[in-house]
Amino acid sequence: MTSRMAVAALLALFGLASGAARATEFVVVDSEGLDLRPGQSVDGAKSLSLEDGQAVTLLSAGGQIVKLAGPYNGMPDSGMKRADSPDMQQAMAALISERKARTSEVGIVRGKVVTLPDPWVVDVTNPGTSCIEAGKPVVLWRSAPLDETSIIFAPKDQSWTIKGKWPAAADRITLPATMPLRDQTDYVVALGERLEPVTVRLIPATVNNDVMRASYMIEVGCDNQVNALVAIWQKK
């Protein structure tokens, strides 16, 4: 089963009631050539027009990813399947099955597979993409060895810099609240002599359930965090 098939399975579990049709509310994940920001809500029952070269990626409350590219004129939720009984536990079970199939396919998982202690830490010892939740503290995490070391954290454009010491035996530190990270932004982390790049994707507050978060992270490449989130649900 591919990740797109899993999204369809999640939709079947999280779709709207099969009675009177109601509009699906979407959240923008990415857009190109449009005045639509990540996290912005889009009414699925309202017509959306895209010209050639314009594109948008949308996320439904049930975890379905919808990609539209111009030329296009229509309602984003047209043709979406409906389900009778939304159920978070069933939807996460479908995602767990998808993750097992997905990680067994050669070349599907992007970057190094790392077991994270928590879904919401930014891995600074392995380059790649990390997802953080809007409005939540940003926690940096490192794998062993856990020696005391210097840390420098800054955006790639060097518009600001945080310098300090990472204490021995500590695998996590929390960034100051005055240094919020930006979506789709590249950062650099220097731990002692080791320099690693980190790309941040911000999960907006409108992505407000675990199935949506998991689908969002699959879409933008936060694979290790998806695994950590799924691991929590496997224990429930």
Q: Residue 24 has what pLDDT?
A: 81
Q: How far apart are CA 27 and CA 100, in angstroms?
A: 26
Q: Residue 44 has what pLDDT?
A: 87
Is the predicted pLDDT of residue 77 greater than 90, yes or no?
no
Q: Which amino acid is at 83?
A: A
Residue 135 lies in a domain: yes
Range of the domain at 223: 121-234
Give the chain's mean pLDDT: 80
Strands 48-50 and 72-74: antiparallel
Considering the domain architecture, whether residues 48 and 135 belong to the same structural domain is answered as no
3-class SS letters over 129-163: EEEEECCCCCEEECCCCCCCEEEEEEECCCCCCEE
Peptide bond preceding 145 in cis form (omega within 30 of 0): yes
Considering the domain architecture, whether residues 136 and 220 belong to the same structural domain is answered as yes
The 8-class DSSP code of residue 93 comes to H
Considering the domain architecture, whether residues 45 and 144 belong to the same structural domain is answered as no
Considering the domain architecture, whether residues 77 and 169 belong to the same structural domain is answered as no
Domain containing residue 192: CATH number: 2.60.40
Considering the domain architecture, whether residues 57 and 133 belong to the same structural domain is answered as no
Considering the domain architecture, whether residues 68 and 137 belong to the same structural domain is answered as no
Q: How far apart are CA 59 and CA 188, in angstroms?
A: 29
| CA dihedral (40, 43, 48, 52) positive or negative | positive
Q: Are 228 and 113 in contact (CB under 8 A)?
A: no
Considering the domain architecture, whether residues 56 and 136 belong to the same structural domain is answered as no
Considering the domain architecture, whether residues 142 and 224 belong to the same structural domain is answered as yes
Q: What tokens were used for 134? A: 């809007």
Query: Span 13-20, mean pLDDT?
Result: 36
Q: Which residue has the tokens 């996590």?
A: 172
Closest CA to 1 of 110, 104, 86: 104
Q: pLDDT class for 33, splitting at 50, 70, 90?
A: very high
Considering the domain architecture, whether residues 10 and 65 belong to the same structural domain is answered as yes
Considering the domain architecture, whether residues 69 and 139 belong to the same structural domain is answered as no
Q: Which amino acid is at 44?
A: G
| Domain count for the chain | 2
Residue 228 lies in a domain: yes
For 144-195, write each residue's pLDDT tens digit.
889 999 999 999 998 889 899 999 999 999 988 877 789 999 999 999 888 8
Residue 14 lies in a domain: yes
Residue 219 lies in a domain: yes
Q: Are 31 and 184 in contact (CB under 8 A)?
A: no
What is the SS3 assignment for 114?
coil
**Of 39, 69, 88, which residue is a domain's last?**
88
Residue 182 lies in a domain: yes
**Of 66, 88, 110, which residue is a domain's last?**
88
Q: Are 111 and 123 in contact (CB under 8 A)?
A: no
Considering the domain architecture, whether residues 138 and 197 belong to the same structural domain is answered as yes
Question: Rounded to the nearest 5°, which phi and psi values hold at 23?
Answer: -70, 145
